[in-house]
Amino acid sequence: MSDLHPVTDIHPDIDRILISQEEINARIAELGAQISADYQGEELLLVCILKGAFVFMADLARAITVPVQTGFIAVSSYGHSTQSSGVVRIMKDLDQSVEGQNVLIVEDIVDTGLTLAYIASLLHDRHPKSLKICALTNKPQCRKKEVTIDYCGFVLPNEFVVGYGLDYQDYYRNLPYIGVLKPSRYAQSHG
């Protein structure tokens, strides 16, 4: 994976593109095929962690061939900061029961692991048939709480990334690639 991609329409707040739209699409197709094979003959409940994972889950759901239902859970641990506070609050809980279901948590990024560990524990206590995690991106070097990622799209360096659902202050989610946000963009709002 190259650090730089020739792109003519790069957003002015992006320092460089880490993962191109084409790389994301190819990896999601691979993840969808793997998940479909692993759940052959079964049904699957995809649990999207809002807001960041909605773009990834939409594409992932279309890449999975077994019967799929979707659920959404919204949590907050960042607010408008660039670092997790470590305090997880449920802003919107699932509308359906997970009891007896194959549950796949869909997350955009795993860094500290605090939010994901909390959600996994919460859903585990609701007695699903199985519980696994699919993350588009992973920053293992940032981990404060260990979590098992069963399906991982990309491992990232410890840089502030946005795009393809990932945000800064709720902006940049609509970028079709994952890029490094220029430090000047988030430094200016703290000083």
Active-site residue identified among 13, 108, 111, 150: 111
CA-based nearest residue to 35, from 68, 73, 58? 68
Our answer to whether residue 95 is catalytic in this structure is no
Three-state DSSP at 110 gives: strand
CA-based nearest residue to 54, from 163, 165, 171, 167? 165
Cα diameter, the chain:
55
Rounded CA separation 29/24 (Å): 9
Dump strand ranges (E) for the chain: 14-19, 44-50, 68-76, 89-92, 102-110, 130-138, 151-155, 161-162, 178-181
Please calculate the CA angle 58-140-81 and round it to the nearest 5 degrees.
70
107 phi, psi to nearest 5 deg: -125, 150
Active site residues: 111
